[in-house]
Structure 1
Amino acid sequence: MTEIVVIGAGYAGLAAAKLAARWTGAKVTLVNERDRFVERVRLHQLAAGQTLRDRPLADLLRGTGVELVVDRVTGIDPDTRKVQLRGGALTYDKLIYALGSRADLDSVPGVREHAHTVASREEAERLRADLANARVVAVAGGGLTGIEAAAEFAESHPGLEVHLITAGELGAALSTAGRAHLRKAFARLGVVVHENARITAVDAGGVALADGRVDADTVVWTAGFTVPELAREAGFEVDARGRMVVDQTQTSVSHPDVVAVGDAAAMRRPDGLELRMACATGLPTTQRAVRALADKLAGKEPKPFRFKYVQQCVSLGRRDGLIQFVHEDDRPKEKVLTGRWAARYKELIVKVTILFERHPTLPAG
């Protein structure tokens, strides 16, 4: 019997394991360092003081036939097709690499020592404890993670002074209407925005900029993500960011017995467009990748890869939101949905994501 090992049980890895068990006749083993599924898109809510639902992986895998191994992956030997764990090793015929991404803590001095992140549940819980006594928080990074975090902190802690520091214009990837609503929301929430600000260091007293500083007793780092070094260390072909380079079936270009999904895969459309790290990318491409793997195992030719974006969903606290509709190549359209309806829309999307994890054959894009 073919043995498929999936490493990483985030949004892409959990779905990949369940799809592989359903669509192939293989024995599927899922390896994850923790026994819980983490709703990463909600971690800014956890940090702000809200309670997240506990989601044991065993519950999400019940009845699927997937074997769960709770252990840390320490290495991969592609020559012997072994995944090294702290407690032993697993042999595979096919490997699905789904280790995801994490906050980049080393691109700027002081970040690792002095900043919090919302990239893992443990980090969000530490930030939650710190925010309970904070007076001023500086959120470094003007991407969607930073925007959502700043809005959530300001709404949940009305007495907290919240600063958002971005290297470019606030909401640069949004349309004119989207940027206008974002500025209106931040003004309502009292978030102080520092645009076109280059961060040079983080210290115990805040954030140093190329042309000044922002004093804060708590710094939250959302300015960029990186991926684990395991793929590079194992000798797989990776891009400059360490993501596994894959073909149109998301198979490693250097090792055809390995498929990469989610943030740790360097995915491109046939027209060359690089796909961004996001659930909107990871879930539908994971379906396509596992379907292609199943087709290959069955001796069939995989269908051509097609992918298009539809929207970007941004929460601005619990009562406001921004749905930015986009062209298929992710360029913003002028059309947006804002306010309470947008907040409800975003909440529905997040809930549907969990529904997808329970039933990953549902359409994902």
Structure 2
Amino acid sequence: MTGKQHIVVIGAGYAGLAAARRLAGRAGTARITVVDARAEFVERVRLHQQVAGQRLRRWNLAEELERKGIRFVQARATRIDAVGKRIELDGGDCVDYDVLIYALGSLADTGGVPGAAEFAKSVATPEVSSWTVNGGTIAVVGAGATGIELAAEIAESQRDSRVVLLSADEPGAWLSAKAVAHIRAVLEKLGVEIRADVKVVEVTADGVRLAGGEFVGAETTVWTTGFAVPELAARAGLAVDGAGRVLTDETLRSISHPEIYAAGDSAVIAGPGERSLRMACATALPTGKYAADVVAARLRGREPGDLRFRYVLQCISLGRRDAVVQLLHADDTPARTVLRGRLGARVKELIVRGAAAAAGLR
């Protein structure tokens, strides 16, 4: 690469901010622009706290980025012209790029079940998490990390509410037996009704219907069964997988468009055990930084080193006073060590605060 390059990052989540911040210190004279529809950064990993009535800290993206010499454009990217190397924005403007880092993250996956998109609420993004619990019965569909954290947070802070956790699997089933047992014990102590052998086949305005016909009434239904990605990359003609995530090589470069890199939830990234890395803050931060390192190295005419990555732990909060911190093997499978209770809660809080700092937020 020669001349004064323009590097554009679309997406100001953990991956995008980590990439932009890293580039600001390593990309020499290159101009850096971040494009995002949001004016503020809100910690996605705390959104379950927000809907339970807690106030979250917000960072002004323009202030945070521009003090590092990074231009911020608040707009929604509506189209990528991969041939002309141009991003079209919802206000009618365009941003040209020499190098693009695609870090749009993910959003709620409500497809496949009738009524989920129309009637269920979500905590997948700040835009869909502006609601708060108003009592009554809350049906939480999905017992992954998001569903567990949400059910525990609501049950702890809204003691007059009835919380029902609905899933085909035991909460935390992918973790160690010790972690699974602790999660169930804490949820039950908080009064959460766990239905771990059911499948939701329909969502209505006043509850959910299970396979077999049983109806579970609820004033609020929250959908936490998984994540999807924006369609922008697929519409632009980039090589993507069946879910729409950008297919990348070992340096996070698009396998179809060499001037585009991808990081975080919207990328398919080879990981340990011949599996792609999972959607997580723990994936977004290091891959965002690595994408920046690759771009900076190639700006100087050098080839980057390999991505050195492994998961160390996974943490799940169980309200404000308890949590599970599961240590992991290099292949992302659970190790024997599990931190629980107040110690787990303190460690989880430190990790969440550290994630914001790692993204360059003061």
Q: Specify if TM > 0.5.
A: yes
1:49 to 25, 30, 53: 53
1:64 to 68, 89, 97: 68
Q: Tell me whether 1:106 sits opposite 2:108 in the alignment.
A: no
| Match in the other structure for 1:34 | 38
Amino acid at match of 1:55: W
Amino acid at match of 1:23: R
Structure 1 SS opposite 2:215: strand
| Match in the other structure for 1:239 | 241
Q: Deviations over 1:255-309 (max 9, x none)?
A: 0000001100011137522110001111112112211111112111211222111
Distance 1:118 1:20 in 2: 30
Give, in angstroms, the shift of residue 359 of structure 1: 6.7
| Match in the other structure for 2:250 | 248
Give, in angstroms, the shift of residue 170 of structure 1: 2.2
**Which sits farther off after the overlay, 264-273 or 204-213?**
264-273
2:84 to 80, 84, 88: 80
| Match in the other structure for 1:14 | 17
| Match in the other structure for 2:222 | 220
Change (3 A) 1:271 1:294: farther
| Match in the other structure for 1:356 | 358
Identity rate, percent: 48
Amino acid at match of 2:44: R
Distance 2:315 2:43 in 1: 16
Distance 1:214 1:22 in 2: 54
| Match in the other structure for 1:330 | 332
| Match in the other structure for 1:142 | 143
Distance 2:206 2:158 in 1: 20
Distance 2:63 2:286 in 1: 23
Amino acid at match of 1:16: A
Give, in angstroms, the shift of residue 90 of structure 1: 0.8
Amino acid at match of 2:159: P
| Match in the other structure for 2:97 | 92
Q: Deviations over 1:7-63 (max 9, x none)?
A: 110111111112122211210010010110121000000000000112111232242
Give, in angstroms, the shift of residue 68 of structure 1: 0.4
Amino acid at match of 1:140: V
Distance 1:270 1:48 in 2: 36
Structure 2 SS opposite 1:343: helix
| Match in the other structure for 2:310 | 308
Distance 1:359 1:122 in 2: 20
Distance 2:361 2:261 in 1: 21
| Contact map agreement 2:248 2:255 (CA 8 A) in 1 | yes
Aligned-residue RMSD, C-alpha: 1.3
Distance 2:325 2:19 in 1: 27
Amino acid at match of 1:98: A
Amino acid at match of 2:95: L
Give, in angstroms, the shift of residue 334 of structure 1: 2.1
Q: Deviations over 1:200-257 (max 9, x none)?
A: 1100121111122321110001111100000000000000110000011100000000
Structure 2 SS opposite 1:186: helix
TM-score (norm 2): 0.96
Distance 1:286 1:70 in 2: 20
Structure 1 segment 280-319 matched on structure 2, within 5 A: 280-319=282-321
Distance 1:14 1:301 in 2: 23
| Contact map agreement 2:272 2:331 (CA 8 A) in 1 | no
Structure 1 segment 154-303 matched on structure 2, within 5 A: 154-211=155-212, 212-269=214-271, 272-303=274-305
Distance 2:335 2:360 in 1: 32
| Contact map agreement 2:101 2:291 (CA 8 A) in 1 | no
Amino acid at match of 2:81: D
Count matched residues: 356
| Contact map agreement 2:199 2:210 (CA 8 A) in 1 | yes
Give, in angstroms, the shift of residue 187 of structure 1: 1.2
Runs (4+) of structure 1 moved beyond 3 Å? none
| Match in the other structure for 1:363 | none
| Contact map agreement 2:293 2:304 (CA 8 A) in 1 | yes
Q: Deviations over 1:182-208 (max 9, x none)?
A: 111011101111112111110012111
Q: Tell me whether 1:5 sits opposite 2:8 in the alignment.
A: yes
| Contact map agreement 2:59 2:361 (CA 8 A) in 1 | no
